[in-house]
Homo-oligomer: A and B are copies of this chain.
Amino acid sequence: MVDAVQGLRERKKLAAWRTIRSTALRLIGERGFDAVSVEDIAREAGVSRTTFFSYFPSKEAVLFDLDPVEVQRWQEMLDQVPDDVPLWTAMTDVALALAASLADRLPLQKRLTAQSPDVCSAAQGTCDTFYPDLHEWLTRRSPDADRVHAALVLNTAVAAVATAIEAWDVDDPFEDFLQILRDCLRWAGAGLAHPVG
């Protein structure tokens, strides 16, 4: 499923990625996003500022980017969805799976986006990681005539996820979040189940 052990270089890279990420989450969790500089994170993680930016394209990305292994597992999931599943159903499944993988970071992310508007707008960019892939995936699975429909399916799903994140109380169990998300997807998707409305 996941490549066991590649070369030393690959393993070191992944380790570095995770060290930087966890260091950043810890520091930012302690002091807040604006009170921690990239310099701070790099120093604490034992790398140079330059190296930080070779792993993450921006300071915000360290909060929202996915672990490479997660990305890979997630790509494989996309490939395994049968072609005959209706677009909205497929999208729903993917959204729920994706949401489930956010379990550990979601509380911190909610807290931070509430604090600083800088992070808040970047939070929408969370989707930036998936958006192009998903867009391509959906477009490939739908006839040319329904390209608008495919885009609408994606954006509506994003809206449902955003709403669920917004509505979920951090103190409630994570399962509640998934339930809210299921409801949102069902409500928002009622009109999208069939390609031509």
Residues of A within 8 A of B (CB): 117, 121-122, 124-125, 128, 147-149, 151-152, 155-156, 158-160, 162-163, 166-167, 180, 183-184, 186-192, 197
The quantity of this chain's copies bound in the complex is 2
Give the complex CA separation of A190 and B186 in angstroms: 11
Q: Of B148, B159, B162, B192, which contacts A167 at CB under 8 A?
A: B148
Give the complex CA separation of A197 and B189 in angstroms: 11
Residues of B within 8 A of A192 (CB): 187-188, 190
Residues of B within 8 A of A160 (CB): 152, 155-156
Find out whether the CB atom of A188 lies under 8 angstroms from the CB atom of B188: yes
Give the complex CA separation of A88 and B14 in angstroms: 47
Residues of B within 8 A of A122 (CB): 121
Cβ of A129 to closest chain B Cβ, rounded Å: 12
Residues of B within 8 A of A162 (CB): 155
Give the complex CA separation of A180 and B151 in angstroms: 12
Residues of B within 8 A of A121 (CB): 121-122, 124-125, 128
Q: What are the 9 A-B residue pairs with the smallest beta carbon separation, nearest first? A: A190-B191, A155-B159, A159-B159, A187-B197, A148-B167, A152-B163, A151-B163, A155-B163, A187-B191
Give the complex CA separation of A129 and B66 in angstroms: 29
Q: Which residue of B lies closest to A60 (CB)?
A: B121
Find out whether the CB atom of A190 lies under 8 angstroms from the CB atom of B197: yes
Known: A152-B159, A152-B184, A159-B159. 9 other contacts (CB 8 A): A121-B122, A148-B167, A148-B183, A152-B160, A152-B163, A155-B166, A156-B159, A183-B197, A187-B197
